[in-house]
Structure 1
Amino acid sequence: MTKKAPPIPARHVIWFGWKLVIFFSVALCLVALLKLHSQPPDLSSSVASRSRSRISRPNIFTGPPKIAFLFLARRNLPLDFLWGNFFEDADVEKFSIYIHSTPGFVFDETNTKSHFFRGRQLRNSIRVAWGESSMIQAERLLLEAALEDPASQRFVLLSDSCVPLYNFSYIYNYVMASPRSFVDSFLDAKEGRYNPKMSPRIPKNKWRKGSQWITLVREHAEVIVDDEVIFPVFQKFCKRRPLLDASKGKMNAKLQKQHNCIPDEHYVPTLLAMSELESELERRTLTYTSWNLSATKMETKGWHPTTFTYANSGPEKIREIKNLNHVYYETEFRTEWCRSNSTSVPCFLFARKFSQAAAMRLLGEGVVGRFGAATLLDAPP
């Protein structure tokens, strides 16, 4: 007679079932981890979410919305007499002024005749060098200071050699009429600017180039100030290549193999592209620059903006700039027709680089504000 096997206790069956569940759960977790590590993270969405939600700022204010004029200055403002005249015709409730100058420099009656600029310097300014990340750090400091005022709804970045091409009322209405930021942004097809070490934080398909002279709506200014992801990558991997030096001879060939990344030409358009905000931009700058492309191989300056002097800043030249109504981007085969709130408008509201003599001519010929000879006399150092 065959003996029957003793029945398996119920508790053993339950325990065995739990072991199978645990085994398969661990296996699924391992598969998920392997899959996660094998695929690059969606950094664009993470940049957007972190930039938009990290800090909540009050946006309730009384009175009209303001344009914050943000000046990046080497030291003083050599064209303060022209800008002072420009602001004389403005409603003081519609603008504010912030200046990033060399640390410790204070704007007072000894270095500016215009009361609009006195005491408007940042207290936390830093030393800035062209072609270094300190330039975009200074821009971020200006934006951060201007954002403290909830009435600041537009932010215009300007150099100390910029001039306005129209009166305040025209510029205010032009900028405020558009719900978009004006940010020059295009694909950079040249080799050597994008450093592969930026990947995957900054994917190459999001790499953009453009003029640093931007005009922003408040939300986009907040994205730039709150960014903690992209700026550190620029600090580490976006650096200017050493300039050509004839005295170094063959050593130049080795030096020129380094990536030549100019941070202020790439940071803002790249950050906004990664934040999926390009559809909210007019992808052009409001500041006109004439580039000198005549540099030879061994010149140390390379491409640089032409300086407008008294001789080449006459009414015809200014009229030519003001009549421009489109910009062509050859890397994208794209023509950007200049619009503000879907209305055709002149492309440029500002221009650079202007000498003091050129600015005097603009003021004297009535291009900007009212002419007052007293503003041109005894200019402070």
Structure 2
Amino acid sequence: MDRRGITQTATALHRFLKATIQLLVCTRKCTPLTRGNEEDMGEIRAFDQQRYPSHTRAYHVPQNLGVSACHEAPLKRIPCRREKHVRHPKNADFFSLVTAFHKRFPSFPIRPGSRLFISLTTVLFIFALFRLHSLSKLPSSAPARNAAASVLSRPSNPFVGTPKIAFLFLARSNLPLDFLWQGFFQNAEEGSFSVYIHSKPGFVFDRSTTRCAFFYGRQLSKSFQVAWGESSMIEAEQLLFRAALQDPANQRFVLVSDSCIPLYNFSYVYNYIMSSSKSFVDCFLDTKEGLYNPKMSLTIPKGKWRKGSQWITLVRKHAEVIMADDIVIPVFKRYCKREVIQMEQDCIPDEHYMQTLLAMSELEDGLERRSLTFALWNQSASETERQSWHPVTFKHDDASPERIKEIKGINHVYYETEHRTEWCRSNATSMPCFLFARKFSRGAAMRLLREGVVGPFDASVLLA
């Protein structure tokens, strides 16, 4: 409903209230209340004194006045004596409204029996006004959509040269699978990738802290402590995007966890990602009760609420939209908090933010709505084991060649809430869905290298 419609509805409600009051005070029941009808007058006085014993009222209506004459001829009032009386606190607001009306229109003879009806009518009218006020603040994704349109419409010169993939690592401190990533990056063509790491404040990647030379000095200088289930996670992701966007050669952006491994060599991963003009974002309609906080509704419509894996791969324009957001992220900071998760909601910022922002920005058509990172979620029937609801960690015995082959063979993903099957294709050709997998322990990663599952194994990197 637009503002014009709201105004028209408010006017109609005002007219309805006025007509209702007029109908109450100007019915033919007012005609018998004359000096000549003492019986009716006595009945009304008795009713009035019984209900309001602390004050008295005198009534006078000219004789022989019909309904229409009630408004046309002024009524003569006999002064009445009113004593101060105490009203019930719950009814104070209601009767103050009636008293105000009576003072404003002293010529209207309101029967005591009509007081409650008028009070309720007034309350309903006020409720309708509040409802209209809320309608004027209906949730809309227009601000986010307009902000995204502004970013996407900025003139930009086409990048000339070799486009790079920016690998954005989110780490607690060090990267425990650094020896595996050393083997992955050392076979890459020079100038085809870049690395950015968000770690705890003060942690420096150098020869003493990592076995991967490609991680040296790649930590962000303005990092902060990140807590799972809080908005600090998505703030750290924004910092990574901001840093990577400083290099115009970075045309794709891959979020990577500290327990993630590549399933293929660099050449395959590079060609797979660069061959698509879309972002890879696991994104689906979230219908689970309790995940959406109604307090978000003024900014985030429930119809745009999305969920998915945080491990996304974005094209540059979409990364710019994420980095420029100052509309949606404040809402997540305010309402997606750990204490809310434990007591009322189950809103996880890193599983909702990116997907919801892109949906509100009307950019879902530019997405491959699936992640490139595989995770095996805990399917245990035990409530105790499923409480934390984290992905399974692959240990040494789990990281067999057969298991990796099974992961590589997945060619579609089914989304139950949307009854949607996302087939993994490139130019109508079936492709593996996943390029990366998590969560892998250090022992599992060593087995994969030793058996040559994900790349050549160089034992010297483990002895350095």
TM-score by length of 2: 0.69
Q: Find out whether 1:349 has 2:435 as its counterpart.
A: yes
Q: Given that residues 241 and 260 in structure 1 are in contact (C-alpha distance below 8 angstroms), is that contact kept between their aligned partners in structure 2?
A: no
Tell me which residue corresponds to 2:424.
338
Tell me which residue corresponds to 1:79.
177
Q: Structure 1 stretch 197-206 or stretch 37-46: which is displaced more? A: 37-46
Tell me which residue corresponds to 1:47.
144
Counterparts of 2:452 and 2:177 in 1: how far apart (Å)? 15
Counterparts of 2:427 and 2:203 in 1: how far apart (Å)? 39
Matches within 5 A, 1:154-165: 154-165=252-263
- Summarize the Cα distance change of 1:232–1:341 in structure 2 as closer, same or farther, 3 Å threshold: farther
Tell me which residue corresponds to 2:231.
133
Letter in 2 for 1:309: K
Letter in 2 for 1:49: N
- Bigger relative contact order, structure 1 or 2 (CA pairs below 8 A, ≥6 apart): 1
Cα distance, 1:361 vs. partner?
Answer: 1.2
Tell me which residue corresponds to 1:304.
390
Counterparts of 1:306 and 1:117 in 2: how far apart (Å)? 27
Unaligned runs of 5+ in 2: 11-131
Question: Matched residue of 1:127: which SS?
Answer: coil
Cα distance, 1:50 vs. partner?
Answer: 1.4
Cα distance, 1:194 vs. partner?
Answer: 0.2
Counterparts of 2:439 and 2:363 in 1: how far apart (Å)? 30
Superposed CA deviations along residues 186-212 of structure 1, whole A, max 9, x for unmatched, are: 111111110000002101010001000
Q: Find out whether 1:185 has 2:309 as its counterpart.
A: no
Matches within 5 A, 1:67-216: 67-216=165-314
Q: Given that residues 380 and 386 in structure 2 are in contact (C-alpha distance below 8 angstroms), is that contact kept between their aligned partners in structure 1?
A: no
Q: Given that residues 379 and 386 in structure 2 are in contact (C-alpha distance below 8 angstroms), is that contact kept between their aligned partners in structure 1?
A: no
Q: Structure 1 stretch 110-119 or stretch 52-61: which is displaced more? A: 52-61
Q: Find out whether 1:317 has 2:403 as its counterpart.
A: yes
- Summarize the Cα distance change of 1:314–1:300 in structure 2 as closer, same or farther, 3 Å threshold: closer
Q: Given that residues 139 and 300 in structure 2 are in contact (C-alpha distance below 8 angstroms), is that contact kept between their aligned partners in structure 1?
A: no
Q: Given that residues 6 and 136 in structure 2 are in contact (C-alpha distance below 8 angstroms), is that contact kept between their aligned partners in structure 1?
A: no
Question: Matched residue of 2:447: which SS?
Answer: helix
Superposed CA deviations along residues 18-62 of structure 1, whole A, max 9, x for unmatched, are: xxxxxxxxxx89959989974446732321221342595865544
Letter in 2 for 1:172: Y
Tell me which residue corresponds to 1:248.
none
Counterparts of 2:262 and 2:387 in 1: how far apart (Å)? 27
Cα distance, 1:228 vs. partner?
Answer: 0.6
* Residue of 308, 311, 326 corresponding to 1:228: 326
- Summarize the Cα distance change of 1:205–1:29 in structure 2 as closer, same or farther, 3 Å threshold: closer
Cα distance, 1:302 vs. partner?
Answer: 2.1
Q: What RMSD in Å do the two structures reach over aligned CA positions?
A: 2.4
Counterparts of 2:254 and 2:426 in 1: how far apart (Å)? 15
Counterparts of 2:395 and 2:182 in 1: how far apart (Å)? 20
Cα distance, 1:299 vs. partner?
Answer: 5.7
Letter in 2 for 1:261: C
- Summarize the Cα distance change of 1:57–1:261 in structure 2 as closer, same or farther, 3 Å threshold: farther
Superposed CA deviations along residues 148-178 of structure 1, whole A, max 9, x for unmatched, are: 0011110000000000000000000000000
- Summarize the Cα distance change of 1:316–1:29 in structure 2 as closer, same or farther, 3 Å threshold: closer
Question: Matched residue of 1:92: which SS?
Answer: coil
Q: Given that residues 139 and 298 in structure 2 are in contact (C-alpha distance below 8 angstroms), is that contact kept between their aligned partners in structure 1?
A: no
Counterparts of 2:228 and 2:157 in 1: how far apart (Å)? 34
Q: Given that residues 79 and 160 in structure 1 are in contact (C-alpha distance below 8 angstroms), is that contact kept between their aligned partners in structure 2?
A: yes
Counterparts of 1:274 and 1:196 in 2: how far apart (Å)? 16
More helix by share: 2
Letter in 2 for 1:47: A
Letter in 1 for 2:263: L
Aligned residue-pair number: 339
Letter in 2 for 1:328: Y
Q: Given that residues 151 and 320 in structure 2 are in contact (C-alpha distance below 8 angstroms), is that contact kept between their aligned partners in structure 1?
A: no
- Summarize the Cα distance change of 1:138–1:59 in structure 2 as closer, same or farther, 3 Å threshold: farther
Letter in 1 for 2:253: F
Counterparts of 1:107 and 1:32 in 2: how far apart (Å)? 65
Counterparts of 2:188 and 2:363 in 1: how far apart (Å)? 31
Q: Given that residues 184 and 283 in structure 1 are in contact (C-alpha distance below 8 angstroms), is that contact kept between their aligned partners in structure 2?
A: yes
Tell me which residue corresponds to 1:367.
453
Superposed CA deviations along residues 81-130 of structure 1, whole A, max 9, x for unmatched, are: 00011001001211000000001111011011221000000011111000
TM-score by length of 1: 0.83
Counterparts of 2:8 and 2:265 in 1: how far apart (Å)? 61
Q: Structure 1 stretch 298-307 or stretch 136-145: which is displaced more? A: 298-307
- Summarize the Cα distance change of 1:32–1:362 in structure 2 as closer, same or farther, 3 Å threshold: farther
Tell me which residue corresponds to 1:260.
346
- Summarize the Cα distance change of 1:30–1:177 in structure 2 as closer, same or farther, 3 Å threshold: closer
Counterparts of 1:58 and 1:33 in 2: how far apart (Å)? 47
Q: Structure 1 stretch 183-192 or stretch 39-48: which is displaced more? A: 39-48
Q: Structure 1 stretch 332-341 or stretch 219-228: which is displaced more? A: 332-341
